[in-house]
Every structure is written in C-alpha cells, then in structure tokens.
Amino acid sequence: MSKISVGILNVTGYAGVELARLLANHPHVELVSVTGRSAAGQKLGQVFPHLAALDLTVEAELAEVDFVFSALPHHESAGQLLPFIEKGVPAVDISADFRLRDAALYEEWYGFRHPAPLLLSEAVYGLPELYRSSIRSSKLVANPGCYPTASILALAPALSAGLVAGNIIVDAKSGLSGAGRSLNLRSHYCEANEDVWAYAISSHRHQPEIAQEIKAIDPSIGAVVFTPHLVPMTRGILATCYAPLKAAMTTEQIAALYADFYLDKPFVRVTAEPPHTKHVAGSNMCLVHATVDVRSGLLIAVAVIDNLVKGAAGQAVQNMNLMLGLPESSGLPRIAQYP
C-alpha cells in the first residue's frame, strides 16, 4: 500500500525539525515537502546535518500533499493554512492560531485579529486523551501548547470526577528549547546557565488556553493562576498543579482514580513516585503523579513531558494518526533517551 504524503510548513523551527525526525521513521506516511524561508533552496541535511538521510530540499512553497502540518509562528500559521483547509486537506496546526475558541482572545493575548474566526468552532483541540473521538472525525486540529498539555493532563482525572473546587494554581518549568530557535538574550548560554526565573507572570499566552480547557472539563472551577519558569536544560516541562479538593480523600484513592482514567491512554502513565523530566526526554510520554496534602486538603498533581515531542511534534503525529485512521502510536517513541 502506498504511503500517505505529508508536508511541513516551516521545518526550520525546533517543532518543525522534530516533526521531520519523527515522520522519517513513520511506517505509514512519507514526508515529501518542507518549507522554510530562511533555508529555501538548501538541502535539509545542510541546514540540519542529523537529517541528512532525508533527501529533501527546503522549498519556499509547499507541494501538493495528502496531509499538512504547520509549525509556523502564531499569526502566520492560520493564513498559510487557509488554502489547504479550503481544499479539504487535513491539517494539524502546531501554533496557537486555532486553539482558542473565542476570537477576541487573540486580540487580547496575541495582539492580532484572527483571519478566520469562523474556523475556531470547527477546529478540534488536539489533546487525544480528552478528545480522541472528535480528533478522528476532524480535518483541522489545533495542537495544544506544551505547558497546557502537561497542566491539563495533570488535572484532568480529578476535574472529570468533579473533585475540585475553587481556584487552581499551575507552577511550571520549561527547558530553553521552548523559547524557539530565534536569537533571544534570555536564552543565551551565559544568561540562562545556572539560573532559574519566573517570567510572564499573569500574562503568559498559554494561560487562557489552560483556563479554557480546565473550564471545559468543569465549568465550576474558579480562577486559573499560571506561572511559567525557565530552567537551564534543553528539553522538558514539569508542571506542578495545586487544586483544593471538595472532600477529604487519600492519596491511594486519588492514585486509583488517575490509574483508571488513563488506563486506555497509550502515552500517559501514572507513576508511584514524582517523575523527572529525564524520564520522558525524546519520547511522546506524559508521566503523571498525584498526591493529597492532607493538612491543606490540596490535590498536588505533577506531570512531565518532553516539550518538543508530547508538547509539540509528537502530539501532532499522534493527532495525525487518529485523523487518518492509523494506529494511534504509529511512529512515536514511548521509551525515553538516557542519559
């Protein structure tokens, strides 16, 4: 059987290049076309030597394909995807351009007017652990952000069971690759090494996305407070979430609830001990650990992911698999790289 042809808009960012790496080993699809303005006309292996085995030239325009991924920055992505969407080509957008359901939030949080607001109601939020059936029947999937992926997966079982009341606090840490490949003073080695800092306090663009999805599970939840931190590592996100429980519960009860919720989810594993970011590096796994602080009555849930795999490219491939009727885990690593 012939393979499904796929293309990547903007292969030159970290998400795009990771997507190319994963698709190169996919048994059912073939990466046939990639774009990247800064590298147009060059062989992909010239730009990224680790991808030299892929005999592809970076183009200015994407060729005709059966499936398209966009790894373009927000604001640019929606406009470049529109011609493919209008032709009926199924697409996964790794940017934020189709994640928020309220078009006004793009002006508030991203500073632009959405070019296709009517499509926001058609796009499916691409978190397979919550929306698997909707993803399967969709032709436009909005790949979740990296921080939202970890935060929502940490809290989803408790929220779905109606166990949480009041405000939720999400304290999350990310490696430097989350800042992208563009030159930025804060990600220079001498600036970032041996340093940890909180940034975009109360103003990070993933906050409305996290709040939207948490309230979609349980509309009674109060405010969602999200604070991200930058740590001097290349890959990984660790999200620690604090939520008041409505009634007293034991850690054993919570652990059983979480294990049952994720029983049929191939890329989430509930752990007995708090996980490390190294435990998921290079894989599409999310490791979740939940416990109860009996003194405060708080649920404390921790999730770790590789921000470039489950937080971006890997989840995009997972969504593609579902959209094309392929086995959900096709082409995706579940074993982390170590050390």
Catalytic amino acids? 146
Beta bridge partners of 326: none
Q: Which of 330, 251, 319, 329 is nearest to 92 (CA)?
A: 319
- Residue at 223: amino acid letter: A
**Residue 206 neighbours by CB under 8 Å, 6+ apart:** 145, 146, 147, 148, 226, 228
State the Cα torsion 282-283-284-285 to the nearest 10°.
-130
Cα 54 to Cα 256: distance, rounded to the nearest angstrom: 45
Q: Which amino acid is at 262?
A: Y
Dump strand ranges (E) for 146-193. Answer: 168-174
Which residue is it, tokens 């294990």?
Answer: 259
Overall size of the chain counted in residues: 339
H/E segment holding residue 311: none
